[in-house]
Amino acid sequence: MKQIEAFVDSVYQNARGNKKEIKELKAEMRSHLLEAVHELKKEGISEQEAVQLAIERFGGEQELRSEISQLYHKQKLFAKGVLFAALIALIVAIFSFQFLYQRDDLNSNDFPHRINEKIIDSLKDHESITEEVKKEVESIVQSNKRVHKIEIYNTKGLEGDELFNYLEDSKPIYSYSEEVNTPKWLWAGYNRGGNGMGNWFVYTSAFGYYVISYLILVLGIALYWALFTIWAIVYAFHTTRKVSILWTLIFLFFNIIGFAGFLLTNKKFRNFNVFNSSP
């Protein structure tokens, strides 16, 4: 029936998206309309009137065009949103990890050692811990919110392995510590740096972000992985109209590599555009 064919073609005239999907949707609409015409003709209505009535009941041409356009627009926005969210999660996680890790790395290689050298400099002319040095240690810990603990060892006459065995097995002759008030959800850790000179060896433990930095990286990658997998499944479904369990597992376990494999095995991959595709 030419009138039905013309109506269906006009509805999908400006529809953008996967050609195979649009063809299937047109066939489905055509089938519904023909079935409606058949039922109306059974009631004694002429074919021309039945066609016109079936089209009117199905919905106006302009209304259908608007609904289809909105449907494709929403699908496109959803696909873009999922993909961009995945990429943003990955980028934020990598940059946050790099910032916190480098900050901790610089601090662990500098901050504790500067404190150690300052204390050793105060001790170098003494054979024992003086009250003056104790007050200085307490002042350092109290005035630096990142400093958790300072330990002082007398290592007179010790060198090499003997020195390190002593530091590992012995207790410091003096130590001072204060709890660093950090939220438990930060999963904070401590960087411990040691310096020795002459008769003295000093360890300083300072607050660090290294645990939270790794946690942010792992969570960011996990979120990216999940969102990209969802996007790949949606794209594959609207490209082939079906997604096998095998491809779902490939996307899940191999992520972007699995998706590249899907494109290479899909005949339409040359026309693929991740930002303008219509899932």
Q: For the chain, 279 residues long, give each residue's pLDDT as a single digit of tens.
A: 678 788 777 777 766 666 766 777 778 878 888 888 888 888 888 888 887 787 777 765 556 555 666 666 677 788 889 999 999 999 999 998 888 777 766 555 567 778 888 888 888 777 888 888 888 888 887 877 778 888 999 888 888 888 889 888 889 999 888 776 655 545 456 677 888 888 889 998 877 777 778 888 999 999 999 999 999 988 887 777 677 888 889 999 999 999 988 888 876 544 444 444 444
Across-strand partners of 193?
A: 204
Give the residue among 143, 151, 147, 142 at the shortest CA–CA distance from 190: 147
**DSSP β-ladder status, 200-208 and 147-154:** antiparallel
**DSSP β-ladder status, 189-197 and 200-208:** antiparallel
Residues 270, 279: Cα–Cα separation, whole Å = 16
Give the residue among 128, 114, 122, 11 at the shortest CA–CA distance from 60: 11
**Residue 170, SS3 per DSSP:** coil
Position 278 scores a pLDDT of 44
Position 255 scores a pLDDT of 92
**Residue 58, SS3 per DSSP:** helix
Position 72 scores a pLDDT of 66
Position 272 scores a pLDDT of 45
Across-strand partners of 197?
A: 200
Q: Where are the domains of the chain?
A: 2-59, 101-213
